[in-house]
A and B are shown apart, each in its own frame.
Chain A
């Protein structure tokens, strides 16, 4: 049995550089649709959205959604230890929306996030921006803007956290000790 102390984390690289390249690819979207509103996927996506908005000096409002209730395995899994409320401070109907998440992997989180978002109204258009695309898709979902594409072992774990000095990203091997 592996304990949390045994888990070896490896730093992935400079997240501020990756954020910069994500900002570069989000730029044209905001130019085309200046009135775009933002929605971060809790909790990693919210940190990325906030950092990105600051970097781009972007307008538009920021909401956040929690996908726990929309997971396709919600009813067969143990309830998530932290179910949080969603909060969208603007009308979704007819808006252009930039959906932001930290990591794009199987695509299931984004599928759930879209289902949740559509329960608030019918947006005119939804764009997807992710800081990292680590491959391994299980659904036909692609991002419109990506910070960096990573080659990763399917059972490795990638984590983006936020600190006083910005975003941090690290990876580690398979998990043996249950849900994090």
Chain B
């Protein structure tokens, strides 16, 4: 794996990268590299992982389910009454988590009015 990582750092257009793997609860791979010898980049450097954060969302919701505060079949409006406006009352937590709540695009939201069009476009484009 180390050879593969080294090879990939050489042959693909990487700058800095971290790779970490656990097997059966044990740390087996813990690699990081900086092609430009950036001394500020370490195995613990924080990097924007964009949509990988979506799985952290699932953990947050799972912890609420675990504590009996929420169920996946609950309507979101059961917990956030204001959400029900404009025909969204029957959308469930599971609909949202499966990307099936119809909230796909910011054209359905008022973000275009809230932010400048250019800024909101930047956000959507980059995710």
Whether both chains belong to one complex is answered with: no
B residues lining the A interface (CB < 8 Å):
none
Interface residues of A (CB under 8 A from B): none
